[in-house]
Amino acid sequence: MKKLLFLLILLSHTAVAAILPKPTTESYTGGNFIITDKSTLVYDSAVRDAATYLLEYLPFKRILSSQKIMAGDVQLTVNKLLDSEEYHLVIDSKNIIITGGSYAGVFNGVQTLLQLLPAKVYEKNCKLPVAVPQCNITDSPQFSYRGFMLDVARTWISADKVKRYIDLMSHLKLNKLHFHLTDDEGWRIEIKSHPELAEVGGFRGGDSPVFPRYGKFYEKWGGYYTQQELKDIVAYASKRNIEVIPEIDMPGHSKALGAIHSDILCSYTPDKSITNGLEIRNVWCAAKESNYALIEDIIREVSGIFTSEYIHIGGDEVNMSQWRKCPDCQRLKKEKGLENEKQIEDYFIARVSKILAKYEKKPAVWNEGIEGGLLPKSTRVHGWASIKKCLASTSKGYPTIIMPGHFFYFDMKQSSSEPGHTWAAIFDAKKVLSFDFAKQGFTAEHLKNVAGIEASFFSEIYIAHNPEKSDYLDYMLFPRLCALSEVAWSHERRSWDEFYTVLKESHYSRMDAMGVTYRLETPKVEYKDGKIYATTADNSTIYYTDTRTGRSSKYTKPIATSAPYAIEIQSFRGTGKSKKTGSKEYFARLKPAVTVTSSIPCSEKTPMANAAKYSNSIVRTTRAAKAGDWIEYRFAEPVSCREIEAMTGHIYLRRCNLLKGYIEVSYDGKTFVKAADFDVAGATIKPTAAVHALKIVATSNSDAEDQIVIQSLKIK
């Protein structure tokens, strides 16, 4: 009787879950199938790993290969008449049968089955019996390439954490991990014939010749993957239907490599006076035969680690002024009849592509890599810079991965007041879901050469968010990665309202169980009649903090306050959280007239007046800073305020900074008194009187750049 009562309760709590990404067709009969401790998992031998994977989530006591199924069994089987990633999921009163066109199809079906189970299944402690709604789902992807690029060069991410993101990708039926392993800031892959590349280049700062950048300026920090760790990652991903595509970025983005092997750089002496004596060149010399020998050593070993038919070899943002100054590259240009430096890059990539072919690999490049016009159409292009570049690549007949920054770069801000880049756009999951090929100008001819869709996360900003402990990466990826999966998989995707309903009613709880710190929509906040009103549309719990005292409380009714500027609002639901927000008074800034001067000359293109605009306009100087350099802000009229925040470097990005110094403030316009120490994160002062002027004074050299960036003050 107790068991029957338990089953009735179980069934009463069973509801049809919305599958994400949206399946091609799905129908539900209203009944349920009960998986019990007597159910057997039966599988074809070709999908043994998928069966083992399912066992991580569902504790079948019996698992058998190639047995005729009986009532109550769950079967995983292959039908080669289906497309490779296509699957059929049939659940009736007697059985669950997942049929896929290959291992990939069966695995996709397993992911759909998991979404039909209670969300707690993702905690890997599902208790039996459990009910699953009877249904018939036929599904296949729109694109065979559904990718995510993870940059581990700028911010080191451990192998275990990479595996976690592979798991999270697999739940969304994403199937390509583009693994950005090398860049200016680090070399993350063991090369046994050249162990110094990883052993030295995997770390920056301290006694490493690779200079610190973006954060952690005062310690030696980093890491790298051994070849065995990478093989484990590849195998782990393969069992989850994910292909790992390595990227060895060249000929640019190679500062870390150049710091270890300066002989890869061009044969001229650069002006180091503007960099405080530091070498900041980052481009392989295209004319040195020794460079191609080193590249072959690298590619030979990389090819032995990764099973992907492609190796991404970069080709983006090459500083070709280094080739223009190089006598060897100019001689090569003349000897080969090359018309310009873009064709030098073509020559370089063509040489590297021949090496790849020797090891049975194909090249992938960023969209700049084909602009010289000489690369064969077998080259796969990743269109990152713009829709225009994607259209150009597909028009030329190159298989192209569509990943323009203003839709699919998940290092971009999600709102104007959150961390992230802004160079492409500010966007959230709604913008991702809105991507439409036709509206972006893709014709049927263009679409013939669209190989797939990819999102990316470049990790410059991540390092400043305590990556060993923080949830910043989760917050930046989710739910934007959920929207990406729907765009890449679903033939007919949901509207935003439908998609948002799926998030709130089904997928938030799944991400809770997965331990994902996803981003909630921002609460709406209004201040009127002396009270702050806050609401949310997702049943999250709202808290408010008085920033003057640091005290936080649960929001239960409108907040009576005469200081709305000091009240910060944030909502939480499960493991999700919103950004910190407030009323318009909370965001208000003073913008007094100010004149900005500095001991460091600025670029004509970014004059000092930019730092007086109180906008995202910045000043770029023409050299790095030295100890003793200063930046002064002098107000036209004395300014009475609560606080002043002063920073150098790019907004939300610790690059082109003064590293150490102090802030002086003048209350009479003549004498200055020290108000605060200044470090790479800047400083905030709370004036004791009206301020006439403020000065930042450097006590050390700036970071490893040829300039610093000067920003406007933030005054409250």
Question: pLDDT per residue over 158-184, tens digit each?
Answer: 999 999 999 999 999 999 999 999 999
561 in any annotated domain: yes
In a domain, 519, yes or no: no
Average pLDDT over residues 398-404: 98
Work out the average pLDDT over 411-433.
Answer: 96
Residue 8: pLDDT over 80: no
Cβ atoms of 73 and 93 within 8 Å: the answer is no
| Domain boundary, last residue among 92, 116, 139 | 139
Q: How far is 297 from 44, CA to CA, in rounded Å?
A: 41
CA distance linking residue 511 with residue 167, whole number of Å = 12
CATH number at residue 16: 3.30.379.10
Residue 169 sits in the same domain as residue 215: yes
On whether both 293 and 397 belong to a single domain, the answer is yes
**pLDDT, tens only, 203-252:** 999 999 999 999 999 999 999 999 999 999 999 999 999 999 999 999 99
How buried is residue 98: exposed, middle or buried, by Cβ count under 10 Å (0-12/13-18/19+)?
buried
Name the helix (H) or strand (E) containing 246.
strand 243-250
Instruction: Please report the pLDDT score of residue 31 as a whole number.
Output: 93
Quickly state the pLDDT bin for 83 (edges 50, 70, 90). very high
Q: Are residues 451 and 475 in the same domain?
A: yes
| Spatial distance between the Cα atoms of 608 and 620, rounded to a whole number of angstroms | 8
pLDDT interval class at 4 (50, 70, 90):
very low
pLDDT per position as a tens digit, 574-607: 999 999 999 999 999 999 999 999 999 999 999 9
Whether residue 180 sits in one domain with residue 262? yes
- Domain co-membership, 222 together with 306: yes
pLDDT band for 74, please (50, 70, 90 cuts). very high
Q: What is the pLDDT of residues 43-57, one digit of tens each?
A: 999 999 999 999 999
pLDDT of residue 11: 43
- Can you tell me the mean pLDDT for 59-75? 89
User: pLDDT class for 6, splitting at 50, 70, 90?
Assistant: very low
Q: How far apart are CA 697 and CA 648, in angstroms?
A: 11
Tell whether 239 and 363 lie within a shared domain.
yes
Pairing of strands 182-183, 531-535: unpaired
Question: What's 126's DSSP letter?
Answer: P
Residue 295: domain span? 145-509
Residue 62 in any domain: the answer is: yes
Q: At 564, which CATH number? A: 2.60.40
Q: Is residue 295 part of a domain?
A: yes
**CATH number (domain holding residue 613):** 2.60.120.260
d(CA 568, CA 716): 14
pLDDT of residue 7: 47
Q: Is the pLDDT of residue 17 over 80?
A: no
Average pLDDT over residues 652-662: 94
One-letter amino acid of 405? G
Contact 293, 229 (CB under 8 A): no
Q: Are residues 332 and 364 in the same domain?
A: yes
504 and 434 together in one domain: yes
Rg (CA), the chain: 28
- Going along 329-473, which residue ranges are E strands? 362-366, 380-383, 400-402, 450-457
Proportion of the chain above pLDDT 90, given as a percent: 94
CATH number, domain of 465, equals: 3.20.20.80
* Domain limit, last residue, from 72, 107, 139: 139
In this prediction, residue 494 has a pLDDT band, given cuts at 50, 70 and 90, of very high
Domain boundary pick from 139, 160, 187? 139
In a domain, 514, yes or no: no
d(CA 367, CA 384): 7
Q: Residue 67: which pLDDT band, with cuts at 50, 70 and 90? A: confident
Asked if residue 516 is part of any domain, the answer here is no
Q: Where are the alpha helices (DSSP H) in 172-254?
A: 196-201, 227-238
Q: Looking at residue 13, what is its pLDDT?
A: 42
What's the rounded Cα separation, in Å, for the pair 50 and 72? Answer: 19
> Which pTM was predicted?
0.95
Q: Give the pLDDT band (50/70/90) at residue 355.
A: very high
Q: Beta strand pairing status for 362-366 and 380-383?
A: parallel
Tell whether 95 and 179 lie within a shared domain. Answer: no
The letter for the amino acid at 456 is S
Mean pLDDT of 320-343: 97
Q: For residue 12, what pLDDT is reported?
A: 40
pLDDT value at residue 15 = 53
Do 244 and 388 reside in the same domain of the chain? yes
What contacts 570, CB < 8 A, 6 or more positions away? Answer: 523, 542, 543, 544, 545, 577, 578, 579, 580, 581
Contacts of 671 (CB under 8 A, 6+ apart): none
C-alpha 393/C-alpha 404 separation (Å) is 12
For residues 370 and 461, membership in a common domain is answered with yes
Q: What mean pLDDT value characterizes the chain?
A: 95
Q: Are residues 150 and 116 in the same domain?
A: no
Residue 284 is assigned to a structural domain of this protein: yes
Residue 519 has pLDDT above 50, yes or no: yes
Q: What is the mean pLDDT of residues 391-405?
A: 97
Residue 59 has pLDDT above 90, yes or no: yes
In a domain, 515, yes or no: no
Number of structural domains (the chain) is: 4
